């Protein structure tokens, strides 16, 4: 059974004093329902993802107490991929025909923190100040730059590109373009990554209405088909966040595993993809993920970025809505924001940031602690 997306909705990303995460979730759901032309009472099941909201299913208090199965999920930065995968599988299994995946979050500013023991790390690891996600991202791109010849200027170009794209996106958090010099000159946080090279935890919500592919044209003239959605966790030997030690044997990260599996399920390859959303927790992550998802070889990014290949009009348009760098990261919603953008692009409804030439296949990827990745592939 194939699955189609027939509605998407977003609460803008940013900071919204006085608006709760649940309220943002309800707004995103109403917009997705409106986009699909259905009512809340038509929805047969839901999956809700959040880090800060204990029970996303409480959103029914704002939408209607219809008694549907509504399951809450949390899976780190891959939370939205998990909600989408479960919603898709529910339809594939034939249990229900029309459902919704929603993500919502409302974070305080500043780097994420947690008790390291919850991540199977010793207390002293946190006490020493090593239980810090940004430090991992600095270390990973620093090594990658050394091994594959990527320059500091390329990091800045990626940020500048995502902020330019964000300026075209009325739902983005950061809409002010910055120069490469401003990006490189902002305070160093974790070498080689400066303050403006990182995304920020923020607030927002996103929702996606899914149905059986065979029913999709009841709801829309422009169904988008969910060709694959996968979640993978790290294997022994992957270089991952929150690792007090690593074995000397090396293997690829969970993004590579999730990506290969998704392409196989979809029967497509990287060369078929027209528009791409990657987890740009930081500028380095976008560069590394471009290769980890099969869109180039290690080291090719230096020339691709210099040639403008990742721009909206380039051969590999990446993060056309500004990505995490311009939108920030409300963890539960972030991956559904990626799907929202791909759906708009594939419907040719992305306005000023529309990828030219009618893109047919879109791709999204999430990655986060403690080594979890999610990928989805969509097509017209």
Partner 1 sequence: MAQVPIADGIFTWPSDQPQLIGSRCTLCQIVTFPAQVSCPRCPSTAMEEHLLARRGRLWAWTTQDFPPPSPPYAGPTGDAFVPFGVGYVELGGEVRVEARLTEADPSALTQGMEMELVLVPFRDRDGDEVMTFAFRPVG
Q: Binding to partner 1 by residue 18, rule CB under 8 A?
A: no
Q: What is the dihedral of CA 11, 17, 20, 21, to 10 degrees?
A: 50
For partner 1, the closer CB: 35 or 292: 292
Q: Binding to partner 1 by residue 247, rule CB under 8 A?
A: yes
Which of 73, 132, 184, 373 is close enough to bind partner 1 by CB under 8 A?
132
Q: Binding to partner 1 by residue 306, rule CB under 8 A?
A: no
Question: Rounded distance, CA 225 to CA 214, Å?
Answer: 11
Of 31-39, 64-72, 138-146, 342-350, which segment contacts partner 1 by CB under 8 A? 138-146
- CB of residue 139 to partner 1, shortest distance in Å: 4
For partner 1, the closer CB: 46 or 121: 121
Which of 138, 166, 328, 332 is close enough to bind partner 1 by CB under 8 A?
138
Q: Binding to partner 1 by residue 135, rule CB under 8 A?
A: yes
Which of 18, 67, 94, 146 is close enough to bind partner 1 by CB under 8 A?
146
Name 35's bridge partners.
none
- The answer to whether the CB of 153 falls within 8 A of the CB of 205 is no
Of 28-36, 73-81, 134-142, 365-373, which segment contacts partner 1 by CB under 8 A? 134-142
- CB of residue 130 to partner 1, shortest distance in Å: 6
Token pair in block for residue 377: 């592939």
Token pair in block for residue 181: 């010099």
Q: Binding to partner 1 by residue 360, rule CB under 8 A?
A: no
How many chain residues bind partner 1 (CB under 8 A)? Answer: 39
| DSSP code at position 261 | H
Q: SS3 of 43, please?
A: coil
| DSSP code at position 191 | T
| Chain center to CA of 378 | 14
Smallest CA-to-CA distance from 148 within 288, 270, 246, 255 is with: 288
Token pair in block for residue 83: 């909600």
Q: Binding to partner 1 by residue 149, rule CB under 8 A?
A: no
- CB of residue 118 to partner 1, shortest distance in Å: 10
- CB of residue 26 to partner 1, shortest distance in Å: 30
Name 225's bridge partners.
4, 379
Q: Binding to partner 1 by residue 142, rule CB under 8 A?
A: yes
For partner 1, the closer CB: 114 or 380: 114
- CB of residue 120 to partner 1, shortest distance in Å: 9
Of 40-48, 126-134, 327-335, 347-355, which segment contacts partner 1 by CB under 8 A? 126-134
For partner 1, the closer CB: 7 or 371: 371
- CB of residue 210 to partner 1, shortest distance in Å: 37
Name 374's bridge partners.
231, 366
Q: Taking CB under 8 A as the criterion, which residues in 173-202 touch partner 1?
A: 187-193
Q: How far is CA 298 from CA 190, 281, 302, in A?
A: 22, 19, 9
Question: Rounded distance, CA 291 to CA 289, Å?
Answer: 5
Q: How far is CA 325 from CA 103, 269, 272, 309, in A?
A: 18, 27, 26, 18
Which of 106, 140, 289, 347 is close enough to bind partner 1 by CB under 8 A?
140
Q: Taking CB under 8 A as the criterion, which residues in 227-246 touch partner 1?
A: 236, 239, 243-246
Token pair in block for residue 136: 């991992």
Per-residue contact flags (x/-) with partner 1 for residues 104 to 123, judged by CB under 8 A: ------xxxxxxx-----xx
Smallest CA-to-CA distance from 83 within 95, 101, 56 is with: 101
Smallest CA-to-CA distance from 76 within 254, 226, 246 is with: 254
Helix (H) / strand (E) containing 104: strand 98-106
Q: SS3 of 379, please?
A: strand
Question: Rounded distance, CA 286 to CA 227, Å?
Answer: 23
Which of 67, 93, 176, 248 is close enough to bind partner 1 by CB under 8 A?
248
- CB of residue 251 to partner 1, shortest distance in Å: 12
Binding site for partner 1 (CB under 8 A): 110-116, 122-124, 126-132, 135, 138-140, 142-143, 146, 187-193, 236, 239, 243-248
């Amino acid at each position: 059974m194939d699955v189609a997306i027939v509605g998407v909705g977003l609460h803008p990303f940013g900071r919204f004093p006085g608006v709760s995460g649940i309220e943002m979730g309800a707004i995103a759901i109403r917009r997705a329902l409106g986009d699909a032309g259905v009512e809340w009472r038509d929805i047969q099941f839901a999956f809700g993802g959040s880090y800060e909201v204990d029970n996303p299913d409480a959103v029914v208090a704002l939408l209607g107490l219809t008694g549907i199965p509504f399951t809450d999920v949390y899976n780190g930065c891959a939370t939205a991929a998990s909600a989408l995968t479960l919603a898709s599988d529910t339809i594939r299994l034939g249990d229900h025909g029309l459902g919704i995946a929603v993500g919502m979050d409302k974070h305080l500013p500043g780097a994420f923190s947690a008790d390291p023991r919850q991540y199977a790390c010793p207390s002293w690891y946190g006490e020493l100040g090593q239980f810090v996600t940004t430090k991992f991202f600095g270390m990973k791109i620093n090594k990658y730059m050394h091994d594959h010849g990527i320059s500091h200027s390329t990091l800045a170009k990626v940020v500048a590109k995502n902020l330019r794209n964000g300026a075209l996106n009325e739902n983005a958090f950061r809409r002010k373009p910055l120069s490469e010099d401003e990006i490189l000159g902002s305070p160093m946080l974790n070498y080689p990554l400066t303050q403006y090279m990182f995304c920020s935890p923020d607030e927002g919500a996103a929702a996606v209405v899914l149905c059986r592919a065979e029913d999709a044209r009841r709801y829309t003239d422009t169904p988008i088909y969910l060709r694959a959605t996968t979640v993978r966790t790290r294997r022994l030997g992957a270089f991952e966040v929150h690792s007090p030690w690593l074995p000397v044997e090396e293997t690829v990260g969970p993004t590579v595993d999730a990506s290969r599996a998704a392409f196989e399920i979809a029967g497509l390859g990287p060369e078929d993809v027209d528009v791409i959303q990657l987890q740009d927790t930081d500028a380095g992550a976008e560069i590394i993920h471009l290769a980890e998802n099969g869109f180039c070889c290690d080291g090719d990014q230096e020339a691709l970025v210099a040639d403008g290949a990742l721009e909206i009009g380039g051969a590999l348009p990446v993060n056309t809505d500004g990505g995490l760098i311009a939108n920030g990261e409300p963890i539960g919603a972030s991956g559904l924001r990626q799907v929202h953008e791909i759906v708009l692009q594939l419907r040719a409804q992305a306005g000023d940031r529309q990828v030219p030439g009618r893109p047919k296949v879109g791709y999204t990827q999430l990655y986060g602690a403690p080594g979890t990745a999610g990928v989805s592939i969509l097509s017209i």
